[in-house]
């Protein structure tokens, strides 16, 4: 009979480039992530992994010249999808984006993902510790280091989130209005002085 079961998909956009990620260790059927976040690449390009034994089980809905097994053989009168994961790349590849993403990934590889994760964790721990010490600050992100990556979200008493977001932007602080609060997401290269200047601004806003 036909093999059936639940295929486990991982949306790894908030981990790849921030923390080490192993598809075998996570035992996922497939995983994907956009390259413009922690991987530091341009928008319009993503990475996709599909376990080898599952490629032919995923139904194709788009077709094009690049996903053929014999792509480039214009004399063939028959066709079949590529046996590799290229079967999911139906159109012409975004070569400009691919070159830019390669440069970004090379930077992360040169530094090493263990070092990237260590440096990022150090910065998030610093923000977490200082924000929790401020009166009126509510941390919405998990306190356990194992449950967070490079994101820290908080609220501040006496301020509407939208109002606080606009005030921080006016102070040249890069943040986002997400998850019911203000999101900070430094990367491994964010200087300590930048974090401390940000914290100093928030201290002045504490009611």
Domain ranges within the chain, ordered by starting residue: 9-111, 113-205
Q: Token pair of 34, please? A: 């956009």
**Alpha-carbon dihedral sign for residues 154, 159, 161, 163:** negative
Sequence-distant (≥ 6) Cβ neighbours of residue 202 within 8 angstroms:
131, 134, 137, 156, 168
Contact status, residue 17 vs residue 38, Cβ threshold 8 Å: yes
**pTM for the model:** 0.85
If one looks up domain 113-205 in CATH, what number appears? 3.90.1150.10
Domain 9-111 sits in CATH 3.90.1170.50: no
Per-residue pLDDT of the chain (207 residues; tens, 9 = 90+): 345 678 999 999 999 999 999 999 999 999 999 999 999 999 989 999 999 989 988 889 888 888 999 988 888 889 999 999 899 988 888 899 999 999 999 999 999 999 999 999 999 999 999 999 999 999 999 888 778 889 999 999 999 999 999 999 999 999 999 989 999 999 999 999 999 999 999 999 998
pLDDT at 11: 96
Parallel, antiparallel, or unpaired for β 181-184 and 46-50?
Answer: unpaired
């Amino acid at each position: 009979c036909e093999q059936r079961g639940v295929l486990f998909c991982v949306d790894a956009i908030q981990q790849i480039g921030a923390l080490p990620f192993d598809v075998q260790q996570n035992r996922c059927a497939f995983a994907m992530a956009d390259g413009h976040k922690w991987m530091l690449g341009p928008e319009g390009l993503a990475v996709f992994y599909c376990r080898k034994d599952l490629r032919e089980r995923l139904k194709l809905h788009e077709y094009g010249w690049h996903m053929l097994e014999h792509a480039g053989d214009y004399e063939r009168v028959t066709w079949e999808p590529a046996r590799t994961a290229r079967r999911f790349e139906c159109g012409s590849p975004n070569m400009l984006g691919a070159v830019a993403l390669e440069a970004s990934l090379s930077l992360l590889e040169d530094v090493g993902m263990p070092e990237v994760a260590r440096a990022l964790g150090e910065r998030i721990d610093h923000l977490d510790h200082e924000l929790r010490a401020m009166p009126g600050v509510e941390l919405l992100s998990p306190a356990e280091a194992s449950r967070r990556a490079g994101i820290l979200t908080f609220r501040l008493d006496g301020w509407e989130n939208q109002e606080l977001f606009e005030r921080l932007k006016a102070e040249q602080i890069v943040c986002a209005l997400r998850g019911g609060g203000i999101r900070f997401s430094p990367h491994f290269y964010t200087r300590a002085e930048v974090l401390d200047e940000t914290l100093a601004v928030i201290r002045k806003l504490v009611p």
